[in-house]
Structure 1
Amino acid sequence: MIIESLLDTDLYKFTMQQCVLHQFPGAEVEYRFKCRTPGVDLRPFLDEIREEIRHLTTLTFTEGELDYLRGLRFIKNDYVEFLSLFHLKEKYVEVKPSDDYPCGIDIHIAGPWLHTILFEIPVLAIVNEVYFRRMYPDLTEEEGERRLDAKIRMILDEPENAELRISDYGTRRRFSRAWQEKVILRLRDGLGYHFLGTSNVFFAKKHGLLPLGTMAHEYLQACQALGPRLRDSQVFGFEMWAKEYRGDLGIALSDVYGMEPFLKDFDMYFCKLFDGARHDSGDPFVWGERMIEHWTKNKCDPRSKSLIFSDALTIPRVLELWRRFRGRVGLGFGIGTNLMNDRGPTPLNVVIKMVRANGQPVAKISDAPEKGMCEDESYLNYLRQVFGIDR
């Protein structure tokens, strides 16, 4: 089976789930799947996807896995005890054919946030692996290895690369679990200290790597329904995160409402409290310059902060960003699809996004309009009005 451990997911799912347990234990949410790649029909693979998800819902955490999580400095014991009783429940996920979606299937996840938050990453990994093993059963690894070796050489050949680090953020869109592991090991052995770690907790544990991650868009989206006032939902999200982690895991996500609302809300208090910010849409060079300027205006030395880039990165783009910003600010690069699904066939651009929380619509209005997802256009227009967003 594709997923054999509940650790086979991104670290930020656990950090967010812990926050949900302590801060929002009663929240109810809905998620929906979307395939952004045109011309893809997933209906022939529906039964296989269902079978894999059914297996996913039988998994529980082993004692060794729980001990590993307990050893992470920011994971609290009561949360680990909760996970010792946890499993994903099949009743919360529905997979069915649908003509309403271009890819031909609908994946809908609904239930308590605490009990549904861990579905997203493994379900996306399942869809990807089922699709690629069925569509390309005879594909060899030769081309993928050639491309990967070329990327490693580009990093090693970059002048003044002593502080350059990249990380794997590719679980959700990987070609396969076996390929992700092979890539991780090749990066570890080929790049040495230039390979910082992986967002995948299973592989971090298995290979003694650094697990990486803080928050995702769904956290700040849910706060639209959980906070006291919609306009203050981003501030509320940051405050509740700080309440949970007391300054740890201090990388703020900047593109749920776009750059302008983020900078308005990310005032001197948050500039000093958080260690950095993560870029996931829009022009990364403009974003980086504006973040440096914003920290400077708010009496923070940018060199003490970090810019984390994670939007559709390739190695050439990483090197461009490195050359622009090195020495001016801390830098991190989380590379997903381009590392974990670059073997020749066009990768799938698939997502699972939160669309409702506590019965009301939630939305993301990023700096890349195609990344937005909302099922209620009137709510989306209202959200734009509240945050003063023209587009």
Structure 2
Amino acid sequence: MDIATRVYNHKWKIDPIIRSLIDTDFYKLLMCQSVFRNKPDTQVTFSLINRTTSVPLARLIDEGELREQLDHIRSLSLSRGESTWLRGNTFYGKRQMFRSDFMEWFEGLRLPAYHLERIGDQYELTFEGKWHEVMLWEISALAVLMELRSRAVLNDMGRFELQVLYARAMTRVWEKIERLRDIDGLSIADFGTRRRHGFLWQDWCVQAMREGLGSKFTGTSNCLIAMRREVEAIGTNAHELPMVYSALAADDAALARAPYDVLSDWHDEHEGNLRIILPDTYGTQGFLDHAPDWLAGWTGIRVDSGDPAAGAEVAIKWWQDRGEDPQGKRVIFSDGLDVDKIAELQGQFSHRTKVSFGWGTLLTNDFRGLVPKDALAPFSLVCKAVSANGRPTVKLSDNPEKAMGPADEIARYKRVFKVGAQERLDVIV
């Protein structure tokens, strides 16, 4: 694939940024089915949040072009081939992962309306409606903003300049793959959809990983690429579930139970499959200290904020204290990873537990230092559920730099979940 020529020739009209409703992360569809079943009447608002305010999205991206891309997404529906893949494929060893009632609804879905407004140098982009409908905007909205920013930087480049840029970026990715190839026992997947440089680039990265790493490459979170390239679709659940369940809690006692209610519903939904705990929404240590005994039997834990080594140590000790053998469990690292950290964590923990990696932005959007003023450097853009049935959502995280929500609610959640002092870490992506 000659990405540079595609980029130069289409001047952004040949390729829509989002090509399909399944150009999204696998965990979004898994969560969507759970929400469709368990919380079908919940009204949720999602909002775009640019943590890197030094990137002036509204000055870089034309509002008309942004609306054109968002309106195109609203025109999309599942194709027959996509529906057949979701209905008939085997995911995580299970056939018919997606139930018929959910698929019938999904096959008729068109994404609901959006609200877009320019506020200074940033865009306010929100989505309101039934949870299982508006939640599917998240990944698409992020991918559109990220790629339009890339296009704004690349738009004035000539043919040869683009060829050299992509040659350098491809060389960088391949050099990373060559280093990863030498790591014994590596298990790594692409988690880079939400903040990718662009769809074509993510697709290229997945193909490079597949060729360069062989069986060490376990798949991609992107459903469309997984289907087209015949690799595994990877993913389970995310912070969105406990954030919304917690916002719906009637009192402090219900709030304290909410993160475990999420996983109880998840267990029932998937009949014991996909049993990976994401414990850091309101602090990993507190979550594990008060977790019911049945959670210790789950397959593993995903470490997604804070110091990754410290998070793994907490998980291993928790399993040991609960009479579980950590060597039979899995720790999945997925926060801000690059090759050096992957190698370090593999060496530190692979003899103590099963280790996997979800490699995101620094796989699919590492153009650091390749253009003047570092104008293609990745930045931290998120789209989060900010309210549920009119109540604000809160995320604390193991890194207070990632906390979100009204100050009084953050204080309340810290009290309820007994969150003490936390170490502040830079949010890279």
Q: Is 1:182 aligned with 2:204?
A: yes
Alpha-carbon distance, 1:225 to partner: 2.9
Identity %: 34
SS of aligned partner of 2:415: helix
Alpha-carbon distance, 1:136 to partner: 2.4
Q: Residue 25 of structure 1: which of 40, 44, 48 is its match?
A: 40
Instruction: Give the corresponding residue for 1:276.
Output: 300
Q: Residue 394 of structure 2: which of 363, 379, 382 is its match?
A: 363
Alpha-carbon distance, 1:113 to partner: 0.2
CA contact (8 A) 1:227 1:236 kept: no
Aligned-partner Cα distance in 2 for 1:265–1:119: 33
CA contact (8 A) 2:43 2:129 kept: yes
Q: Residue 150 of structure 2: which of 113, 132, 140 is its match?
A: 132
Instruction: Give the corresponding residue for 1:122.
Output: 140
Q: Is 1:353 aligned with 2:390?
A: no
SS of aligned partner of 2:129: strand
Alpha-carbon distance, 1:108 to partner: 1.2
SS of aligned partner of 1:334: strand
Aligned-partner Cα distance in 1 for 2:167–2:290: 48
Instruction: Give the corresponding residue for 2:166.
Output: 141
Gap regions ≥5 residues in structure 2? 1-15, 369-375, 422-429
Aligned-partner Cα distance in 1 for 2:306–2:292: 21
Alpha-carbon distance, 1:348 to partner: 2.2
Q: Is 1:172 aligned with 2:194?
A: yes
Aligned-partner Cα distance in 1 for 2:264–2:220: 27
Alpha-carbon distance, 1:362 to partner: 1.1
Q: Residue 86 of structure 1: which of 97, 101, 109 is its match?
A: 109
Q: 1:263-299, CA deviations, whole angstroms, 9 ceiling, x for partnerless residues?
A: 1233321111x21111110111111111111111111
Aligned-partner Cα distance in 2 for 1:188–1:224: 39
Q: Is 1:70 aligned with 2:87?
A: yes
Instruction: Give the corresponding residue for 2:49.
Output: 34
TM-score in terms of structure 2 length:
0.86
Q: 1:356-380, CA deviations, whole angstroms, 9 ceiling, x for partnerless residues?
A: 1111111110011111121x22111
Instruction: Give the corresponding residue for 1:308.
Output: 332
Runs of 4+ in 1 over 4 A off after TM superposition: none
SS of aligned partner of 1:172: coil
Instruction: Give the corresponding residue for 2:412.
Output: 382
Q: Is 1:289 aligned with 2:313?
A: yes
Q: Is 1:104 aligned with 2:126?
A: no
Q: 1:102-157, CA deviations, whole angstroms, 9 ceiling, x for partnerless residues?
A: x5211111111011010000110000100111112334201211111111111123
Residues 240-279 of structure 1: matches in 2 within 5 Å?
240-272=265-297, 274-279=298-303
What is the CA RMSD across the aligned residues, in angstroms?
1.3
TM-score in terms of structure 1 length:
0.95
Aligned-partner Cα distance in 1 for 2:139–2:290: 29
SS of aligned partner of 1:210: coil
SS of aligned partner of 2:301: strand
Gap regions ≥5 residues in structure 1? none
CA contact (8 A) 2:247 2:394 kept: no
Q: 1:195-225, CA deviations, whole angstroms, 9 ceiling, x for partnerless residues?
A: 1100000000001100011111111101113
Alpha-carbon distance, 1:227 to partner: 4.6
Alpha-carbon distance, 1:252 to partner: 1.1
